[in-house]
Amino acid sequence: MKSTILYEGRYQWIVFGRDPDKPDGIIDTNQYLVVDGKRSLLIDPGGIEIFSAMLAAVLRYTDIDHLTDLFASHQDPDIISSLGLWDQALPHAKLYAPWIWESFLRHFGLNHIEYHSIPDEGQVIRLESAELTFLPAHYLHSSGNFNVYDPVAKILMSGDIGAALEPDGAPMFVKDFDEHIPKMELFHQRWMPSNRAKQAWINRVRKLDIEYMAPQHGRIFSGENVQRFLDWFEQLEVGTGISED
Ligand SMILES: [Fe+2]
Ligand SMILES: [Fe+2]
């Protein structure tokens, strides 16, 4: 599992991905970890197939006792089907996830970890010095869905928004935005259901100071590519799976 440090200050942001041992036929995912002293938040921990690779990778940056908090942006298996295994590895941890998915996510096996429901309007949590906002991103694509925003690191972890479908081993950062568009187009048109939700999210996110927009699939946008993504997404028609006949 490859890891890259995204931010280094009083705490760290690390991205994990591009696992060469990932089984074929499952979508590649990016997992994020915020390490803040004796508290760490693992963001969208990933599918059951990558659990052992993720556990080993995370323990290079923090002790198991300091891995205290998990976050699931929504209910998809590529986000959190590993929950039952984390539940055994981290019996005292807390999971932050959308309130609407609690009775669904418990199917993954939640016997020890405490489920903390995020209300629809989102919330702010504090680790040691890091203050993180769970920002509403409902219907993009899941009907209960949050991003994670850090105003100090200027990172927006955008979940499936900004995702790209591309071959294994792709670079971690977008270099040429125009070249990247075809890799994102179908995903956003087909997986995102609502133009109205898209516009509400863009309006919310345009007010934020963002250096890195970090999705759960594909490459991370930095600097002016963040604004270019917002402009591109704004003009894109989504919800293309609807048939009128
Ligand atoms: Fe998803
Ligand atoms: Fe996803």
178-225 pLDDT per residue, tens: 999 999 999 999 999 999 999 999 999 999 999 999 999 999 999 999
Q: How far is the CA of 170 from the centre of ligand 2 (A)?
A: 16
pLDDT of residue 118: 98
Q: How far is the CA of 9 from the centre of ligand 2 (A)?
A: 28
Q: How far is the CA of 76 from the centre of ligand 2 (A)?
A: 7
Q: Give the residue, 244 or 174, on which the prediction is more confident.
A: 174
Residue 14 banded pLDDT, cuts 50, 70, 90: very high
Q: Which amino acid is at 189?
A: Q
Q: How far is the CA of 231 from the centre of ligand 1 (A)?
A: 22
pLDDT of residue 99: 98
Per-residue pLDDT of 109-133, as tens digits, reads 999 999 999 999 999 999 999 999 9
Q: How far is the CA of 215 from the centre of ligand 1 (A)?
A: 11
- 130, 103, 164: which is closest to 38 by C-alpha? 130
Q: How far is the CA of 86 from the centre of ligand 1 (A)?
A: 19
pLDDT reading at 168 higher than 90: no
pLDDT of residue 58: 98
Q: Which amino acid is at 49?
A: E
Q: How far is the CA of 191 from the centre of ligand 1 (A)?
A: 8
Residue 25 banded pLDDT, cuts 50, 70, 90: confident
Question: How far is it, in rounded angstroms, from Cα 135 to Cα 145?
Answer: 9
Calculate ∠ Cα 99-7-219, nearest 5°. 70
3-state secondary structure the chain: CEEEEEEECCCEEEEEECCCCCCCCCCCCCEEEEEECCEEEEECCCCHHHHHHHHHHHCCCCCHHHCCEEECCCCCHHHHCCHHHHHHHCCCCEEEEEHHHHHHHHHHCCCCCEEEEECCCCEEEECCCCEEEEEECCCCCCCCCEEEEECCCCEEEEECCCCCCCCCCCCCECCCHHHHHHHHHHHHHHHCCCHHHHHHHHHHHCCCCCCEEEECCCCEEECHHHHHHHHHHHHCCCCCCCCCC
Question: How far is it, in rounded angstroms, from Cα 197 to Cα 136?
Answer: 10
Q: In what order do the strands lie in the sheet with 212-215?
A: 123-126, 131-136, 146-150, 155-159, 212-215, 221-222
Per-chain mean pLDDT for the chain: 97
With beta carbons less than 8 A apart as the criterion, state whether 166 and 218 touch. Answer: yes
pLDDT reading at 74 higher than 90: yes
Judged on CB neighbours under 10 Å (0-12, 13-18, 19+), 24 is: exposed
pLDDT of residue 243: 85
pLDDT of residue 12: 98
Segment among 20-29, 91-100, 172-181 with least mean pLDDT:
20-29
pLDDT of residue 169: 86
Per-residue pLDDT of 125-161, as tens digits, reads 999 999 999 999 999 999 999 999 999 999 999 999 9
